[in-house]
Amino acid sequence: MEASEDQSSKPTKRVVLPSGRTIEVVYLNDASAEPQPAAPAVEPDQALHSCNSCGSNLVYPVTWEEAGKDSWAVCLRCPECEQRREGVFNQRTVEAFDEELDLGTDALTSDYRRLCRANLAEEIDRFVAALDAGAILPEDF
């Protein structure tokens, strides 16, 4: 097996993902030796969680990946009208979108917990009513 090269001499870049996690990218080839592609045009700031077609606020990312130093290529989907769109957006726009996604996750989690409590309370009420009516006997267990 070949000994691995010292990675400290390789060019690296720290990338902060929209989720807040940080990764370190190590470039194995010398980046200066290869021609760099032109940076894609970044779209203006906008609310990515809103659909351009139907106005729904339920748009979510299908994929996203780094498109430049401070930009992200994002594929979006609206679950109400099924519109899909792709674009390159700056870091600030993607971070605002990520915050909206977090707020949506919090709302869903809260609703889920409330629904679970309501279902459990209803189940307990039915069980107590069955006990009071004598519909549950020791041999049922």
| pLDDT, tens only, 38-56 | 667 888 889 999 999 999 9
pLDDT at 15: 81
| pLDDT, tens only, 60-119 | 999 999 988 889 999 999 999 999 999 999 999 999 999 999 999 999 999 999 999 999
**End-to-end alpha carbon distance in the chain:** 64
